[in-house]
Amino acid sequence: MEPTTPTLSVHTMTASPYTIGTTFPTIQDARDAVLRYTVDQKLSYRIVKSDATRRKKKLVIVSVYRPHTCPPETHENWKMASSMQYVVPRLARSFHANPTLKAADIQELELLGGRRLKYHQAWRARKQLETFLQNNNIEDTILPDVEEPPQRKRVLVGYGIDVDAVSNWINTGDGSPPNPINVSRGVYGATVGVDRLLKLLEKYNIKATWFTPTHTIESFPKQMVKIRDAGHEIGLHGYTHEHVSDLSDEQQRSVLKRSMEIFTKLTGQIPMGYTAPGWKTSKGLIRILEEHGIIYDHSFMHHDFQPYYVPDSNSQWVETNTANAPESWMAPMTRLRPSTIVEIPANWHLDDWPPLQPNPGTAAQQGFVDTQVVERLWKEQFDYAYREYTTFIFPMTIHPEVSGKPHVLLMHERIIEHINQHEGVEWVPFGDMAKEFREGRFPGVTIEGGV
Ligand SMILES: [Zn+2]
């Protein structure tokens, strides 16, 4: 096979020596060059198609953006993790004894910062081990004396705001007519609700993530410009809130393609994040998000307070069918494997819609819950997480139609003020949580399961 010549294209908000089309002999050289540059300049970067290492893609697209603000010791640790100076010598003996070790085996062997290596880190270490052993005598290998920095309390808190507006009500699935009164509730959300939430966020200096169906972007352009101009992140949320579970892979691709075009016209950027309408998803979704360069998802629930790489669609399970012999369905789930999509987990218990949105005729969702009850449930989740974790994220999901109501706005004021009493709290859009995790500045977790 021909060696690949990756193209490094740099989208930058600051001056950088690299321009679109700069070429490097290998993808590794491209990554190292950007890493060196960004570390020297104290900049953050993200590789939009970082699976160059995993899937042997030839294109590496890098965005270099704002100066990052993590403390120097974290920075040092991140630099080491990326350069593998730390990990490779530690693994040399195991690799010397067993040169057939694969990246997945290395993940089982090696910890960095007390955590399991991410797959791409293990893969890099695996690549560098051969060269390391050629250049170093294993008997003389001295392990670098690295003291891991103590972790400081960090809590990334954020609102994901689903601007479903009219789309959720006209998504009847089978084309049947919606109740126009419900459509008017959607208009209320996009207008009154959005304005009140913008005011709330401004009062507390919070930048949020507005997951917006493309139907809302096209139907309420003035409102979307207000959101954009206030400096918030905007994320994808289907076209008319159609449920991904009802769509074929091709239909999902069509929706995503059109949505991304309209989105990019509004924001001038490729969207980073996605949340599945109704949190109903499909087997193919993660792969489709990867194909489209999406960085993170906010639909899955493997954890509630930690970011992680969401398992890809390969894991399989056998559905129970009691009409068949038990032997046909008594089988374990196959092993979960991480995708390249970061998960900022969804959580029904941190969502305003089920308890506070009346849906007449729906027994389980009468919507007239005292906000003090919801407030207590949300605060208790925060307090537990604060007690138990040194670092965690706290993503809340709200809707302008629901949280734009006066009694709910007052609840949010009380919740924000409660959270703000805690040390280490930073209010950030979900995209920032995902970036911190991807760049190794926020630990998160690895999701394991299956066999
Ligand atoms: Zn929604």
Ligand 1 centroid – CA 283 distance (Å)? 19
The closest of 210, 259, 131, 182 to 403, measured between CA atoms, is 210
5: CB partners within 8 A, 6+ apart: 23, 24, 25, 58
Per-residue pLDDT of the chain (451 residues; tens, 9 = 90+): 333 444 444 444 344 555 544 555 555 666 666 666 655 555 544 444 333 333 443 334 444 333 334 444 444 444 444 445 656 776 777 777 788 888 888 877 766 555 667 777 788 788 888 887 777 766 665 554 444 445 689 999 999 999 999 999 999 889 999 999 999 999 999 999 999 999 999 999 999 999 999 999 999 999 999 999 999 999 999 999 999 999 999 999 999 999 999 999 999 989 999 999 999 999 999 999 999 999 999 999 999 999 999 998 888 899 999 999 999 999 999 999 999 999 999 999 999 999 999 887 777 778 889 999 999 999 999 999 999 999 999 999 999 999 999 999 999 999 999 999 999 999 999 999 999 999 888 989 999 999 9
Ligand 1 centroid – CA 257 distance (Å)? 19
What is the reported pLDDT for 399? Answer: 97
47: which strand partners?
A: 62
Residue 84 CB-half CA count within 13 A: 22
Q: How do strand 273-274 and strand 154-162 relate by DSSP bridges?
A: unpaired
Ligand 1 centroid – CA 401 distance (Å)? 11
Which amino acid is it at 410? L
What is the reported pLDDT for 393? Answer: 98
| Residues with C-beta atoms within 5 A of ion ligand 1 | 162, 164
Can you tell me the distance from the alpha carbon of 38 to that of 391, in angstroms, rounded to the nearest whole number? 25
Ligand 1 centroid – CA 405 distance (Å)? 17
The sign one gets for the Cα dihedral 178, 180, 186, 191 is: positive
Element (H, E) at 53: helix 52-55
What the block records as the tokens of 59 is 């294109």
Angle subtended at Cα 374 by Cα 381 and Cα 369, rounded to the nearest 5 degrees: 155
Ligand 1 centroid – CA 382 distance (Å)? 23
What is the reported pLDDT for 169? Answer: 93
Ligand 1 centroid – CA 162 distance (Å)? 5
> Are 22 and 6 in contact, with CB atoms under 8 Å apart?
no
Find the distance separating the first CA and the last CA of the chain, reported in whole Å.
34
> Are 214 and 251 in contact, with CB atoms under 8 Å apart?
no
Ligand 1 centroid – CA 164 distance (Å)? 5
Ligand 1 centroid – CA 277 distance (Å)? 5
Ligand 1 centroid – CA 338 distance (Å)? 25
Ligand 1 centroid – CA 235 distance (Å)? 11
> Are 213 and 238 in contact, with CB atoms under 8 Å apart?
yes
What the block records as the tokens of 127 is 């690549």
Ligand 1 centroid – CA 47 distance (Å)? 28
